[in-house]
Amino acid sequence: MFQIINKVFAFICQLFGGFISNHYLCCQKHNVDYNSTIKSNPFMKFISILLSLASLSVSAQNSKWLWPIEGAKTGDNIVCQPQDRIDKELNVGDLFIAAPEGTTVVAPVDGTIGTLSVVANISLSQSTNYGNDGGTFDKSREKLANDKKLPIPIKYINGSIMLRLADGRKLYISGLRGNIPFKTGQRITKGQKLGTVAYDYRKIGQPHISISVSGSDGKHVDPMTPFGLKTTFKKIAPLVIPKTLTVKQANEDFDFLVSSIKECYPSFDDIISDEKYQQFVSSTKEKLKTPISYNKFYQIVRSTFSQQFLHDSHAWIDTDDPQVTNNYCVPHLFIGSLNGKLIVTQAQMGYEKYIGKEVAAIDGEDAQTLIERLRNVASSMDGDNQSFVNQFMLRAWNYLVGNNLTRHLSVIKMADGSVVRDQWISANQVKSIKPSTGKSARYQRISANQEAQYRFTMKSDNIALLTISDFTLDEVQMEAIADSLMRHKNAPNLIIDVRNNPGGHIDVCNRLVSWFIDKPTKETNHYDKVNSNGVYQSFVHCMNIPADDKPFEDYVAREGQTGFYSPSSIADVIYPDSAVHYGGRVIILTDETSKSAASDFPAILVRNGRAITVGRETGTGYHYMTAVKFAHLALPHSHIEYTLPLVKSVADDTVTDRFPAKRGLMPDVEVPLTYEEYYAPDGDPIMEKALEILNAK
C-alpha cells in the first residue's frame, strides 16, 4: 500500500515542487512576502498541503518513536497530557511521564542537539534558563546549588535537551540529570542515552520528565501521535480577523500599541522626542475618527514601526501585511532612491531603456516629496543609522505607493521631461525584469550564506577568508571553525565577512573574539536597563509573559536616573583562548546587513585594536542594542501581533568621533552603496577594497 501512495506523492512532488520553488523566487524578485501569498491563495495553499502530505507519507513509513523511559512500554505512567490541568493551569502541549528517579532516559528518535540547558519551570508558561556552563547537567546544577536567588528549589531545576529533527520539528526532553558531556550540533541516534529521570515541573510531586514538540514556527504540535498514542492535543484555532474596526476598537488598539511601546521599550527616549510623540499620535488620531478597514489600520501599525515613531532592529510586526497577496501587481518601471535622486532601478521587458534614468515626479508628486516618504517608512534599524535607510530606499519601490500592490496606473515624469504612463500588471504576467535580482552578485552571496553558516577559503596564498552567515553556531561548528583557523594560522592576512548576517548568540560572538585577541579586552561602562522592575500593565495582552510576572525584580534604581539597572554580561571582559589563536592582520567586512552579534563582533575587535573594518555602517547600534528579552503582544481587537524588546544593553557609553552617538559601527574604510553593487551580476566592491588594502602592503 505504501508503495502505491509513495508513487502518487512522488508524482505530486515532481509536478508541483518546481512550481512552488519558482513562485518563491518570484516573490524574492519582487520584494514580496512568500508566506503571505501562500496563505491568501487557495490554489497555492492546496499545492502546499499536497507537498506536506507527500512529506508526511515518507515519515509515516518510519517506525514510531521509542518511548523515552528505558524498559517501559509506550504510554506507561503518563501523569499529565495535553488539555489536562495542573492546579488550574491548562497544559497545552506537554506530555509528562513519571518513572523512578534515576531511570535511564533515551532518545525517542534520531536528531541533532540544538540546545542544552538547565531550566527552572516556574509555571507551565514561564521558565528561567541557566544555560549549561558546567558542560553537563549535573555540573551545571552544582554551580547553581548555592545561589540564594533561585526562583524554585534546586530539586526542580534540571536539564533540558532540544533535538532538531529531520523534518524541521524540535523535540524537547526536560527533567534530566546526568554527567554526559553533550555538545550542541552533536548527532543523536534513536535509543541513545540522554540522562536520567529527575523532575521537570514542581507541581508534579513524583519524579518525571516532560516531552514537547514544536513546529518550524515555534508553536506547539502534537507530542503523542509520534508515539502511536491516541492524542488529546488540540491545535489552537486561529483568530478571526475583523474586516472593519469601529472607532472605539481602532482607538483602543492604537492607544494600547503606543502605551505598550512607551511602557516596555527602554530606549524610547533615545529615538522618540516629546514633539515626535505628540505629532505622531495626534496625526494618527485624525485618521481614526470614522470606522476603518483592517487593511488601513494595519498600515497605521506599520507606520508605528518606522522612522515616524519606533524604529529598532529588534522590534517588529509579527502579523503579515494583508495587502500582500498572491494576486499582487507590479509596475513596468521599478523606482528607488540613491544619492538624493529617484531613479529607475529595474524594468520589465520592453522598458529597459529607462533603467538608470532620473525620475522627476510620480502622479504629480515631486521626487523630493517621494524620497522623504521612503525615508519615513524605513524600519528595522537602530538610532540614526543611515546605511540601512540608504539600502531600503534603493530597493523599496513598493513603498512609493504605500505598498499598494493592486492594478493601477502610475504617471511617471522623467527628469528629461518625457512621461511614461505605467499600467501595472499581475506579477504572473511578467515575462522578465532587467536587471534580474536573482542573478545579481549580491543575491548569489546571500544564497551562499543560506546554504552554509560558515565557509573558510583562501583568496590567495597569503589571504584567508572566513565567511560567517550567522552567530547561532553550535559547539560542533565552532570546533570546525577553530580547526580551520589553526590550519590557516600562518596566513599573514585574514578577511572575515559578516555581511548578510542577522546575528545570534553573544557567547558565540565572545568565543570568536577570544581567538583573535592578544590580551584581555578593554573594560567599558556597560549595563542593562529596563523601564520597570515590577509588573508591566501591557502584559495583559502579552502571549509569552504572564500578566502578573515581574521579570526584572533584581534590577535596581540609580539616583538621578530613570529606569532600573543591572550589570550586563554582553560587554564582559573577554580573555584570549589559550588553545586557539590567530595573530595575523584582520579585516572585517561590514554593511547594513551586519546586525546584532554580527555588529558586536567587529565592534569588540575594532575597540581593542585587533581589526579594521571595510564597507559600511553596521545595521545595529555600536553603543547599545535593545534586545535580550522580548514581549510578544497582540492588539485586543485587530489581533495584530508585534514584538518589543524589553532590555537596553549598553556595551560602551563612550562617544567619540570614531564611535559617534546613535550610529552603528562606522567603517575604517567606507565603500559607499552603489547601484552596481546591488544589481550587477558580478563584482563585490567591499571585498575588492579589502583585497586592495592587503595587496598594497
Same domain? For 443 and 425 the reply is no
What is the pLDDT averaged over residues 669-696? 96
- Sequence letter at residue 475: E
- What confidence tier does 30 reach under pLDDT thresholds 50, 70, 90? very low
Q: Over 70: is that where the pLDDT of 2 sits?
A: no
Nearest to 193 by CA among 158, 226, 228, 161: 161
Same domain? For 389 and 515 the reply is no
In a domain, 347, yes or no: yes
Nearest to 209 by CA among 313, 111, 271, 119: 119
55-102 tens-digit pLDDT:
444 444 456 999 999 999 999 999 999 999 998 888 999 999 999 999
More confident: 494 or 39: 494
Rounded to whole angstroms, the Cα distance separating 56 from 53 reads 5
- Rg of the chain over Cα atoms, rounded to whole angstroms, equals 27
Q: Over 50: is that where the pLDDT of 36 sits?
A: no
Q: Residue 609 to residues 208, 591, 604: CA-CA distances in angstroms?
A: 52, 20, 9
> Are 624 and 385 in contact, with CB atoms under 8 Å apart?
no
Same domain? For 485 and 598 the reply is yes
Of the listed ranges 167-176, 392-401, 613-622, the one predicted with least confidence:
392-401
In a domain, 141, yes or no: yes
The domain tally of the chain equals 4
Same domain? For 426 and 443 the reply is no
Rounded to whole angstroms, the Cα distance separating 504 from 511 reads 13
Rounded to whole angstroms, the Cα distance separating 127 from 212 reads 14
- The CB density around residue 65, as the number of other CB atoms within 10 Å, is 21
State which of 391, 407, 434 marks the end of a domain.
434
Domain that holds residue 22: 2-61
Query: For the chain, what percent of residues have pLDDT higher than 70?
Result: 90
511-552 tens-digit pLDDT:
999 999 999 999 999 999 999 999 999 999 998 888 888 999
In a domain, 411, yes or no: yes
Q: Over 80: is that where the pLDDT of 11 sits?
A: no
In a domain, 656, yes or no: no
- What confidence tier does 323 reach under pLDDT thresholds 50, 70, 90? confident
| Coil, helix or strand at residue 283 | helix
Query: For the chain, what percent of residues have pLDDT higher than 90?
Result: 79
**Prediction pTM value:** 0.80
What is the pLDDT averaged over residues 20-35? 42
In a domain, 277, yes or no: no
C-alpha dihedral (310, 314, 315, 321), degrees to nearest 10: 120
- What confidence tier does 22 reach under pLDDT thresholds 50, 70, 90? very low
> Are 326 and 40 in contact, with CB atoms under 8 Å apart?
yes
Rounded to whole angstroms, the Cα distance separating 125 from 123 reads 5
Nearest to 573 by CA among 513, 618, 621, 625: 513
Rounded to whole angstroms, the Cα distance separating 335 from 371 reads 11
Same domain? For 457 and 429 the reply is no
- The CB density around residue 690, as the number of other CB atoms within 10 Å, is 27
Rounded to whole angstroms, the Cα distance separating 634 from 547 reads 13
Mean pLDDT for the chain overall:
90
Q: Over 90: is that where the pLDDT of 694 sits?
A: yes
> Are 606 and 599 in contact, with CB atoms under 8 Å apart?
no
Q: Over 60: is that where the pLDDT of 418 sits?
A: yes
Q: Which three cell numbers stand for residue 631?
A: 514581549
Rounded to whole angstroms, the Cα distance separating 295 from 245 reads 10
Residue 192 DSSP class = -
State which of 227, 258, 289 marks the end of a domain.
227
Same domain? For 405 and 460 the reply is no
Of the listed ranges 157-166, 183-192, 623-632, the one predicted with least confidence:
623-632
In a domain, 291, yes or no: no
| Coil, helix or strand at residue 404 | coil
Q: Which residues contact 136 (CB under 8 A, 6 or more apart)?
A: 178, 179, 180, 181, 182
253-308 tens-digit pLDDT:
999 999 999 999 999 999 999 999 999 999 999 999 999 999 999 999 999 999 99
Same domain? For 110 and 202 the reply is yes
Rounded to whole angstroms, the Cα distance separating 647 from 665 reads 20
Same domain? For 588 and 690 the reply is yes
Residue 42: asked if its preceding bond is cis (omega within 30°), the reply is: no
Same domain? For 98 and 205 the reply is yes
pLDDT at 697: 65
What is the pLDDT averaged over residues 429-449? 94
Same domain? For 346 and 455 the reply is no
- Domain of 373, CATH number, reads 2.30.42
Q: Over 70: is that where the pLDDT of 380 sits?
A: yes
142-182 tens-digit pLDDT:
999 888 888 899 999 999 999 999 999 999 999 999 999 99
- What confidence tier does 569 reach under pLDDT thresholds 50, 70, 90? low
In a domain, 12, yes or no: yes
In a domain, 106, yes or no: yes
The phi and psi torsions of 368 (rounded to 5 degrees) equal -65, -35
465-504 tens-digit pLDDT:
999 999 999 999 999 999 999 999 999 999 999 999 999 9
State which of 434, 460, 489 marks the end of a domain.
434
Nearest to 209 by CA among 193, 195, 228: 195
Q: Which three cell numbers stand for residue 57?
A: 507519507
200-242 tens-digit pLDDT:
999 998 999 999 999 988 889 999 999 999 999 998 777 789 9
- Domain of 201, CATH number, reads 2.70.70.10
Same domain? For 445 and 394 the reply is no
Length of the chain: 697
Rounded to whole angstroms, the Cα distance separating 339 from 672 reads 10
241-268 tens-digit pLDDT:
999 999 999 999 999 999 999 999 999 9
- What confidence tier does 571 reach under pLDDT thresholds 50, 70, 90? low
Same domain? For 112 and 186 the reply is yes
Which region, left, alpha or beta, applies to residue 683 given φ > 0 means left and ψ of -120 to 50 means alpha?
A: left
User: What is the distance, to the nearest Å, from the Cα of residue 676 to the centroid of all Cα atoms in its chain?
Assistant: 28
pLDDT at 4: 43
pLDDT at 308: 94
Residue 238 DSSP class = P
pLDDT at 454: 94
Residue spans of beta strands (DSSP E) within 478-584:
493-497, 527-530, 556-557, 564-566
Q: Which residues contact 110 (CB under 8 A, 6 or more apart)?
A: 165, 166, 187, 188, 189, 190
